[in-house]
């Protein structure tokens, strides 16, 4: 296996056209690991796990020359799972730390405006079309990621594209898709998610639910599809606003649904309420096989659109860190920060969703206190905003002198500024789902701990002084003795 190292990462004056151009840019930025002859049967998942657990912000992995498949069919994992690749995806300045990307996201959102996609007549995704009896989703190198998985998952880094039959908008969320046969896949969507709500509207009307499943596309669409944005806002529009120009889409043959014109692989089919098949189990981002095998609606695939030599994109959930957990931390942090400020909270100095909690279960918000109750308000907003609500567990609020990304710093504040009786509260019956390993089977809610690790507002002036060097002294020492510190 080799790491490419031909060019440094640089900003570009235009967005990448498609996944292939993104891969080329990541390659030249020394952010891509090419590996050869890795089998789809467990080897891809196990190797991705070893790579992610060996190095923080691990490189993207491009699996090439996959045994049993055409040599030019490839699989890409971890496209956005580093600060540099996130900046590359979103068109941000080159970052020096993760919070730089969070701040760039927040700066972008001050002027962000959704840009709807542009419908075009043709695109690379139409280079090949398999119809009806010619459909075989197993022609692609779909991995079996974990030893106890119920099957091979073609949809992990996917976009499940559906049209709301009542509100007339397009949702493109990321939901897992397991191959059942060469013409059918099982589609699992957590209760409360937008796609699940749309599916149930069709079923209540006694109608089949049309669906597209895109299985290789611009990583910016995966970032949009995997996060909670407001109901009624299409992920196409949200991602287009970040891109600055509209995504091009082509209408599918059967249902006229919009699919990315530059997608690599897209499945088209429909679900019926009375046709289910057992789906799962699947090793998930919490680090557990949390949701048991269950009957889920079956997607009958009637069309497969794909480019020549397609690239299948995958995400490999596992005990963190995973191939997408870091990127989730950055985007979630920016979204929560943006939402709590939109709700009127002042003084936010940083937000970080920690990777060991899957970017959902241990979130920290740092503030500069301005009034009594400020810290509790910050914690409650961070716990209950749209981006922070689903599957949460702990929210910690700290003072501005604590780095929210540094777990040691955060826990030092918890240990020295938090009184367990006075400063820890609980919220009951909050939004969770089957992926939560702690809650009983069939329950979709959990509880939250709100931990106020700030100095009491009323004691800010007389609270014990922190025993450390002043910033001025530290700067002088670092300048004078930098030759010692640089060798540590």
Distance CA 117, CA 245 (A): 9
Q: Which residues contact 26 (CB under 8 A, 6 or more apart)?
A: 32, 60, 79, 85, 88
Per-position pLDDT tens, the chain of length 488: 444 333 344 456 789 999 999 999 999 999 999 999 999 999 999 999 999 898 888 999 999 999 999 999 999 999 988 999 999 999 998 898 888 988 898 888 888 899 999 999 999 999 999 999 999 999 999 999 999 999 999 999 999 999 999 988 999 999 999 999 999 999 998 887 898 999 999 999 999 999 999 999 999 999 888 777 778 889 999 999 999 999 999 999 999 999 999 999 999 999 999 999 999 898 888 888 877 789 999 999 999 999 999 999 999 888 888 888 888 888 889 889 999 999 999 999 999 999 898 889 999 999 999 999 999 999 999 999 988 888 889 999 999 999 999 999 999 999 999 999 999 999 999 988 888 888 888 788 899 999 999 999 999 999 999 999 999 999 999 999 988 988 88
CB 163 within 8 A of CB 327: no
Q: Where are the alpha helices (DSSP H) in 162-310?
A: 194-204, 219-225, 235-243
Q: Tell me the residue length of the chain.
A: 488
CB 383 within 8 A of CB 469: no
Q: Are strands 248-251 and 118-119 parallel, antiparallel or unpaired?
A: parallel
**How far is residue 123 from each of residues 130, 264, 308, measured CA to CA in Å?**
16, 11, 12
Domains, the chain, with CATH or none: 2-109 (no CATH), 118-314 (2.30.110.10), 325-471 (3.40.1670.10)
pTM: 0.84
Catalytic residue check, 284: yes
**How far is residue 327 from each of residues 25, 163, 224, 409, measured CA to CA in Å?**
18, 27, 12, 22
CB 99 within 8 A of CB 405: yes
Number of Cβ within a 10 Å radius of residue 180? 20
Beta bridge mates, 313: 76
Q: What are phi and psi of 85, to 5 degrees?
A: -70, -30
The candidate with the shortest Cα–Cα distance to 188, out of 298, 350, 319, 322, is 298
Q: Give me 277's structure tokens.
A: 């098949």
Q: Pick the catalytic residue from 284, 400, 458, 472.
A: 284
DSSP structure class, residue 265: E
106 SS3 class:
helix
């Amino acid at each position: 296996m080799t790491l490419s190292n031909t060019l440094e990462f640089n900003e570009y004056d235009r967005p990448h056209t498609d996944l292939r151009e993104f891969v080329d840019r990541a390659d030249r930025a020394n952010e891509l690991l090419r590996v050869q002859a890795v089998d789809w049967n467990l080897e891809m998942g196990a190797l991705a796990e070893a790579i992610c657990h060996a190095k923080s912000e691990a490189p993207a992995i491009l699996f090439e020359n996959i045994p049993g498949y055409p040599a030019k069919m490839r699989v890409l994992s971890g496209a956005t799972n580093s600060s540099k690749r996130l900046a590359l995806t979103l068109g941000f300045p080159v970052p020096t730390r993760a919070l730089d990307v969070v701040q760039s996201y927040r700066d972008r959102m001050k002027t962000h405006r959704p840009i709807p996609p542009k419908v075009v007549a043709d695109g690379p995704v139409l280079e090949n079309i398999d119809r009806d009896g010619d459909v075989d989703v197993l022609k692609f190198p779909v991995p079996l990621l974990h030893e106890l998985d119920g099957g091979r998952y073609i949809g992990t880094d996917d976009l499940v594209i559906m049209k709301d039959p009542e509100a007339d908008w397009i949702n493109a969320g990321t939901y897992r898709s397991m191959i059942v046969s060469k013409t059918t896949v099982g589609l699992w969507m957590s209760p409360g998610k937008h796609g699940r709500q749309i599916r149930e509207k069709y079923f209540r009307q006694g109608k089949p639910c049309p669906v597209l499943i895109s299985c290789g596309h611009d990583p910016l669409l995966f970032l949009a599809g995997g996060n909670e944005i407001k109901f009624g806002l299409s992920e196409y529009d949200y991602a287009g606003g970040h891109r600055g120009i509209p995504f091009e889409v082509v209408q599918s043959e059967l249902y006229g649904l919009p699919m990315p014109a530059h997608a690599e692989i897209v499945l088209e089919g429909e679900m019926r309420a009375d046709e289910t098949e057992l789906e799962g189990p699947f090793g998930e981002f919490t680090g557990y096989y949390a949701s048991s095998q269950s009957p889920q609606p079956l997607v009958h695939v009637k069309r497969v659109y794909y480019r020549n030599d397609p690239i299948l994109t995958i995400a490999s959930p596992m005990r963190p860190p995973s191939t997408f957990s870091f990127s989730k931390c950055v985007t979630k942090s920016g979204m929560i920060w943006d939402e709590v400020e939109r709700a009127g909270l002042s003084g936010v100095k940083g937000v970080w969703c920690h990777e060991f909690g899957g970017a959902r279960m241990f979130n920290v918000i740092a503030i500069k206190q301005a009034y009594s109750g400020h810290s509790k308000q910050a914690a409650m907003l961070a716990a209950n905003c749209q981006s922070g609500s689903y599957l949460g567990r702990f929210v910690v609020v700290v003072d501005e002198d604590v780095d929210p990304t540094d777990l040691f710093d955060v826990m030092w504040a918890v240990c020295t500024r938090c009184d367990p009786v006075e400063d820890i509260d609980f919220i009951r019956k909050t939004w969770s789902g089957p992926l939560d390993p702690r809650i009983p089977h069939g329950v979709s809610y959990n509880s939250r701990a709100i931990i106020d690790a700030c100095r009491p507002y009323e004691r800010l002036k007389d609270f014990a002084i922190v025993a450390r060097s002043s910033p001025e002294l530290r700067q002088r020492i670092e300048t004078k003795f930098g030759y010692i510190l640089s060798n540590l």
